[in-house]
Amino acid sequence: FVTVCSAPVQSRQSPVCPHPYRYRDFARQRDGKDLSKGRHRLPFQRPLEKCRAFQSPEVENTIARLKKKITDPDLFRLFENSYPNSLDTAVLWTGFAFADGNHPPYSDEDLAFVITGDINAMWLRDSANQILSYLPLLKPSSAPRSIAALFRGIINLHSRYIKFSPYCHAFQPPPESGIANGYNIAYHRNKVKPPYSSNRTFDCKWELDSLASFLQISSEYYNATGDLGPFSKYQWMETVEIILDTVETMRTGTYMDDGQLAPSGYTMTGSTNRATETTSNDGLGNPVKRTGMIRSTFRPSDGMGFGVHLTRLVLTSGIQTLPYINFLYLRT
């Protein structure tokens, strides 16, 4: 198991603490677990308190409060197991960024690495939505292990990821964490343009919702806390500009007016036996006409899209973000 700390992570293995990547094996077991008193006798699935990756008094208080309101014991057991699950098992590390970007000492920039299931990588969309479950509990706080710090850590790490691979959707642990990189055979089987480094990026599928998720969690954090710190101190605006440049590049159609192939900001072909894991048309995807909307090669499910143009995801989050984008420009 990997403890949550602000300095480089330290690993510890224990027969009673399920490893984060093997939590599913722990969840399948029923022997020795407390069972609910309802007809379905559902097992208590949370790791022991000392094994939980991230502990939040606000979450524990919410569970205790709702226990008095959810009278069905099976329904409450489902809530008790599922609501804290991202904190219990997926927040693999929290800490601070290197001051110079490469080596200690550390700055005051929060970082948080949140894995997706049993994969040692951080999906932009998944990590944002996992933590947005705790939005009702989000309050201003400078404490390093607060819900607010967790939101800031995700915003800051997303911003870093997008800067070096704006077309990609899943990333390796930050070097500050001390966590070993995950291995993805797709890196050797796929041909992606622009190319990416497997030392920093776990997988690279152009999914518009990944960038939208960054804008959404940024917007929700500011609306809940009024805190401009993550946006004014850590080059957040540069990331937004990269997002705008990226989506503008993907507004082209497949062909120009003269019938020649139009330049594309992203292409991908993969050696696979699954149609959803590669694209047609030599990496361009199904032919589409320029409409002014944004082309997304892959859907939120990571499966290949079929000529779909999307604007709603980015615009819904982006419009909410505009007021303080403008405010930051005025301040700088």
pLDDT digit string (tens) for 31-52?
889 999 999 999 999 998 999 9
Paired tokens of 216: 């959404």
Predicted confidence at residue 94, as pLDDT, reads 97
Residues of the chain falling short of pLDDT 70: 1-16, 18, 20-21, 272-278, 280-283, 299, 301-332
Distances (CA, A) of 304 to 59, 128, 207, 298: 37, 22, 9, 4
Please tell me whether residue 309 adopts helix, strand or coil conformation.
strand
Predicted confidence at residue 259, as pLDDT, reads 86
pTM: 0.86
Please tell me whether residue 107 adopts helix, strand or coil conformation.
strand
* Per-residue model confidence as pLDDT tens digits over 222-239: 999 999 888 988 999 999
Predicted confidence at residue 5, as pLDDT, reads 37
Paired tokens of 301: 């499910």
